[in-house]
Structure 1
């Protein structure tokens, strides 16, 4: 008899035995492999047996108990002689505890009071009045958690000098890109506070701007041939081939943002009319025509490769549990890996925006107007779209004036 089976006989999970079976059934419903389920249930059985040995009641299970289990010098039955439990093993036991808490068997985790209670009201304000996406809201809150230890919680005492000093300190610690994100979140927070009468008005004007020449750089893009190579590289994959191909085509043909793709829902695809519904920035609802090749790629992925799970998101992870992408950065990772597979060793950039810029550049060079490109990219201002005119060499050649040569003073 192998070690794992022998351990089952020696380890007595006591009253938690039935819940270990339910835990295994829950993992199976999430499409975990039998081997992974066995690893989780082994850790759960060990944890339950350790509770009985140490005399800890189920009613007192909490994070501290899990930490004690992870640190215990194992002399439990079953032939174990461990000086400590591995981190992976203890995480599996912690997953079992979460399952018990969700089932109401173990007490729910204690909620730690936030040191910044105003951030809860700020989150509601961003969602209800600013129409920001949950990802953007989370980013703003992350930045404010960095700033508030220095700003303090006495919002009525905020003044222009203190705001500027905090921004100057952060300017020394980070680059211009991160500083723009930080100052954007701080301006938004100060406007919220001022609107609620919790700080002096117009303090957001005290934040010094992060200097940058607007639209000074050239758009980063790939040639049409390179884009085709990137999409074709999906054929090299054994797992996720159809998913990645559909994602890359959405980026390259429709110029979608990474967040658009990650947040795409099954109900957003209108197969009858061949349209795609998107929720853009500030909840702007738009409809874009779905090209034939993109629609075919989406249909192939949904019918042949997408896991059959009750998830609204179109694109899911390829390993259990099958969930939607937690962050839009996963889309950029898919693009970066495709660039590597395609043999493009020195791309202008490696994120999802590279294919968005490539789509706009290709349209403009094919004779599309700036208005048409701006509509596809969902730009609010034509000035943003005009950025791509810099790489339309054919158009620039028509308006370029000949070099005058030497001109006498």
Structure 2
């Protein structure tokens, strides 16, 4: 098809997609869609500068008789998505007018300052900072705009009202955000001191359940499901081994950088909650798997982060759910029935295996980077061999 005056931009669009890591077959599909749009614009006598959502909708509905196209029916939805991507590309280059983005919700000035305070002094992640800001903003209409007028009764009433609208787990997180906000305001003399003590405690029996884990043999089965002949399989095997051998969190995987690995000392530097940096020994198999990924499968990019998405466009893993998806996929391939299917399953399994292998609670806590020994003691519940040694006879047994 003849792209006419848009031909140079179509060629640039194809080069752009190739640079993002898309396969040649994918690029050719987008190239064809862009050329089709260009030819249809010429036949419909529509100027390129006039392209908007209405024009792309017309393109999607037209009964295609464009030269070089065999379709007699309307173009497919997938085809239209490709066209819209090309139009977005034109907008980025100022060829067509871009649709204005929806403005982000405006945050209260004090909430913005609270977020800055969390960022500078509390060492929490950007995800937590954003969540705390949104939760405080949710509560502000009920609390009022003058913090100096807030009192304990008002604080309690607002939280109790929220328990009737959302889950208790959500409210528990909301109370955490509100307590932090009240302490921030109090430190600056913007509200009464001690109001954070008025925030109701949402009942939760901490550490009352058993850890969710799988046995060591099942962990090895999960790791063996990775197809090492593919880039995705090489990456997933490295991720699974780091989770299973070192008990890393999903967030630890996301934040790993090339500079965090000391190959000479065989150690891995991990920055967990509160920006605390811990240097862990890198097991041989996990180190070999990471090295194989860096050598065979990682995209050649300037970005210092280690793990990237396996599908185009090239971008690093940025969400914990992506790491959990790796675990879920391996569980499905292995056909294992598990009590959980997220990344934490392998963290719990690593802790349980270390305890059963004779490691002390202090050692396990150091590897898992627990702040409280109570968190590590939680795993002692599933060490049946040790528990049998201290179990007392049931009263009345003969």
**TMscore range, shorter length:** 0.7 to 0.9
C-alpha separation in 1, matches of 2:54 and 2:120: 39
C-alpha separation in 1, matches of 2:175 and 2:45: 52
Alignment of 1:140-155 (within 5 A): 140-141=132-133, 143=135, 147=138, 151=142, 154=145
CA change 1:27–1:215 in 2 (3 A) is: same
Q: How far 1:327 moved relative to its partner?
A: 0.8
Which residue of the other structure, out of 382, 392, 395, is the alignment partner of 2:373? 382
Q: In structure 1, what is the equivalent of residue 311 of structure 2?
A: 319
Which residue of the other structure, out of 7, 21, 25, is the alignment partner of 1:35? 25
CA change 1:261–1:154 in 2 (3 A) is: same
C-alpha separation in 2, matches of 1:98 and 1:151: 41
Q: How far 1:180 moved relative to its partner?
A: 2.4
Which residue of the other structure, out of 243, 248, 257, is the alignment partner of 2:235? 243
Alignment of 1:350-369 (within 5 A): 350-369=341-360
Query: TM-score, with normalisation over the residues of structure 2?
Result: 0.84
CA change 1:321–1:406 in 2 (3 A) is: closer
Q: In structure 1, what is the equivalent of residue 53 of structure 2?
A: 66
C-alpha separation in 1, matches of 2:101 and 2:185: 25
Q: How far 1:78 moved relative to its partner?
A: 1.6
Which residue of the other structure, out of 12, 15, 30, is the alignment partner of 1:25? 15
Query: TM-score, with normalisation over the residues of structure 1?
Result: 0.82
C-alpha separation in 2, matches of 1:158 and 1:144: 14
Runs (5+) with no aligned partner, structure 2: none
Q: In structure 2, what is the equivalent of residue 269 of structure 1?
A: 261
1:78 aligns with 2:70: no
Say which is worse superposed, 287-296 or 97-106, in terms of deviation.
Answer: 97-106
Q: How far 1:135 moved relative to its partner?
A: 2.8
Q: In structure 2, what is the equivalent of residue 5 of structure 1?
A: none
Q: In structure 1, what is the equivalent of residue 382 of structure 2?
A: 391
CA change 1:277–1:30 in 2 (3 A) is: same
CA change 1:368–1:406 in 2 (3 A) is: closer
- Is the contact between residue 278 and residue 285 of structure 1 (CA under 8 Å) also seen in structure 2? yes
Runs (5+) with no aligned partner, structure 1: 1-7
C-alpha separation in 2, matches of 1:91 and 1:193: 48
Q: In structure 2, what is the equivalent of residue 295 of structure 1?
A: 287
Which residue of the other structure, out of 221, 244, 269, is the alignment partner of 2:213? 221
How many pairs are equivalent?
391
Q: In structure 1, what is the equivalent of residue 362 of structure 2?
A: 371
Say which is worse superposed, 306-315 or 320-329, in terms of deviation.
Answer: 306-315
CA change 1:158–1:339 in 2 (3 A) is: same
Say which is worse superposed, 179-188 or 324-333, in terms of deviation.
Answer: 179-188
CA change 1:221–1:115 in 2 (3 A) is: closer
